[in-house]
Amino acid sequence: MKLIKCIIRPNKVDEVKDALAKLNIAGMTVTEVRGHGKQKGHTAIYRGKEYNVSLLPKMEVEVVVPDNMADDVVKAVVQAARTGEIGDGRVFVLPVLESYRIRTGEKES
């Protein structure tokens, strides 16, 4: 199993969700996050005063999928979340050791 963690633009959440749905992935966790990558924020000016916007609002979408689906999921997310501009985000793939369903306590394979 793989945990796929996607940091994307806030306005791309719906498109990413639709793309994942097409791969029959229903369960996901979506979180509001703030951070920066290469984009490192930018300088905004309000009424003549500069202020540095270092942490940008992003969305984090997390899904856990079987190993054999990981590549397709990554491709789908990248395609859905891309604008081609700086600040499109990142996708991380992490191994998942074990997974349990809380309601039943049963271990999932």
Partner 1 sequence: MSLTQPSPGGSTLVAAFDAARTELEADALRGAAGRASLERFSDRIDAMLRQLFADAGGNERSVDVIALGGYGRRHLCLQSDIDLLVLFERAIDADDERFLRAFLHPLWDIGVVIGHQVRELDDFKRLETNNAEFLLALLDARPVAGIRSLFDRFRTRFHTASTHAYILKSLLELIDRRHAAFNATLYQLEPDVKEAPGALRDLTATRTIGMLTDPLLLRRGPADPARVDQAEDFLLRVRSTLHLGAGRNQNVLSHEMQERTADLLGYPGAEPRQRVERLMSDYFRHARVVTRSLDWARKSAPVPVGPNLGLSRDGIRFLDPVVAARNPATWLGAFQAAIDHGTDVSDEALSCIQQHVDRYRADDFFPDAADRQTLLRLLTPRAGLYARLSEMHDCGLLGRVFPEFQAISWRVVRDFYHKYTVDEHTLLTIRNLERIAETTAPERLRFRNVLAAVAEPQLLVLALLLHDVGKWRDDDHAVESVRMAIDVVDRLQLRGDARETVLFLIRHHLQMSLVAFRRDTEDPDVVKTFAAFIGTEERLKMLALMTLVDVEAVSPETLTPWKEELIWRLYVDTYNHLTQRYGDELIERNQAGLDELLKQRPDDLSTVEITRFLEGLPQRYLQLFSRDAIYRHVRLARDIHPDEVHLSLERSDSAIWTVAVTTLDKPVLFSNICGVLSSFGMNIIRGHALTNPNGLVLDVFQFTDDERFLELNAEGHQQLLHVLEDVVSGRSDVTSLLRGREQGVLHAKGAQRFAPVVRADNEASGRYTILDIVANNALGLLYRISRVISRQGCDVDLVLIATEGEKAIDVFHITKGGSKLTEAEQQALTSDLLRTLEGSL
Q: Which stretches of the chain bind partner 1, using CB under 8 A?
A: 9-12, 14, 32-34, 44-50, 53, 57, 83, 85, 87
CB-side exposure of 43: number of CA atoms within 13 Å?
4
Phi and psi at 107, nearest 5°, equal -85, 135
Whole-number CA gyration radius for the chain: 17
* CB nearer partner 1, residue 60 or residue 64: 60
Q: Report in angstroms how near the CB of residue 49 gets to partner 1 at its nearest.
A: 5
Phi and psi at 31, nearest 5°, equal -130, 145
* CB nearer partner 1, residue 5 or residue 72: 5
* CB nearer partner 1, residue 52 or residue 99: 52
Q: Report in angstroms how near the CB of residue 85 gets to partner 1 at its nearest.
A: 7
